[in-house]
Structure 1
Amino acid sequence: MINSLQDTIKLNNGIEMPGFGLGVFQVENDATAEIVKNSIEVGYRSIDTAAIYGNEAGVGEGIKQALVSTGLKREDLFITSKVWNADLSYDETVAAYEESLQKMELDYLDLYLIHWPGINKYAESWRALEDLYTAGKIKAIGVCNFNVSHLQDLLKTARVIPVINQVEFHPHLQQEVLLAFCKEHNMQLEAWAPLMQGGLLEDPTIAKIAEKYGKSNAQVILRWDIQNGVVTIPKSVRKERMVQNADIFDFILTDEELQVINEMNLEKRVGPDPAEFDFVM
């Protein structure tokens, strides 16, 4: 379990990844540079974006500014992006990766993911990711929003086991079967929408636990993620909220409190169901 904002977990290929980071989903490109710069200045080292977010250029500019203001080096950061559904052929995936690098003005990515499995679309894309990885152009490769059936299918032919499966994960969607499968196959689960896109920030069950520790609902939920061994990347656009979200390492939820939150599972999504999601934008 990580014990600070910059603590890392070891992925199945030996690469170290921060266990807590910043997501920039639905952040406008023009605002992204300042947000990323601020996050790095307050101690974040992991930034998660995607081609479809339309803000990779802003992420790259924020990184550039933060390296100047903090004196950090590129290798001190862990940068993730994702290939979109429209680019899942072999050649399209390679081109999409190069375009992401160009937009961010980076020489490499630490982690590159297939954003959605689509309907039987990921095999060629994964082969491209494997080749980019074995050529040393990416530090690690993984997937997003893959159900157990998708992972089982992928593992039949994969030469490289995904290091990460990034999925919707929060107290109302705990994905117990998927989490167990990923642990069994040494794939790290990573949570997007860990706060259910704000849907749990006033939940009374969590609020009762939060009151005991003098914390917010968000902090309790993010702590629950950490104690479950799940990497998490909450979105924050304000510097003070970034600091608050990361202020979760000075308390520990008891087994009883963890169980109370575990019992909140409703298998309720705020995002699309990966078994059905196949649109191209």
Structure 2
Amino acid sequence: MAPEITGFTRRRVTVADGVALTVATGGSGSPVVLLHGFPQTHLMWRHVAADLAADHTVICPDLRGYGGSDKPADVDGQTYSKRTMAADVVALARELGHDRFALAGHDRGALVAIRAGLDHPDVVTHLASLDVLPTLDMWDVLHGTSAAVGFHLYLMAQPPGLPEQLISGAADAFFGHFLDSWTTDPDALPADVRAEYLKASREAIPSIVADYRASAAIDVEHDEADRRAGNLLRMPVSVLQQDWGAALGFDAAARWRAWAPRLTHRTVSCGHFMAEEAPAEVVKTLRDLLAG
């Protein structure tokens, strides 16, 4: 039996024509939506969600293209844009009865959350990002040999065909590389959880690649348009980030501050999968944000 978030109920919710998301919900109170990262599913929030559910309605979807959610073919390069995926999240919350909500995302989910905050500022009341930079800044800071850490970004940015074929040929090795190398505490990813992530990723290779490909194309265009227009994240924003800014030679907090004037930025010492490695720290950050 696949692992679940204790006390949560899973359901399917239609969010767009031909697209339904699998979502786990629990608790009661003001709504908080939690978006997972790569190569994971909503299960990554199992510790954080269970805590927040004591006094919040917690909504944990699988993003389109991931986990148990639908995986439509990318026919126009926009099917997996963060704009499209953010619209999914807003539609999901509305279908569950919430016109406004707080939003937190990790990794890919954080990119969706950022886009939701820019596109739907009247809907997203608070925003938290775990261990990413906004898309435009991410590409800007990767250069030289230090960019090798992001080799997968460049691989999956290539035209359709080769990336999918290469990853399919060694899927568990590819996705397992990130699960193993991005964590400082292997016990944070128990065997059953790791197996669930690998299975979900094997079944979603075309859509995962399409998600990343969008981040090298249409997502950059959307960020550039917002930068030119002076659009900002005007809600309270909290960011937790590893200190990879120092390693790559940039000031992460300054990068974030250019997008989010009401910013709280903290560097943490755990690995990338911080909701699983340091859930108490993530919970405290989210509770402090929601209390603001």
TM-score (norm 2): 0.26
Structure in which a larger fraction of residues adopt helix: 2
Q: Identify the structure with the greater strand proportion.
A: 2
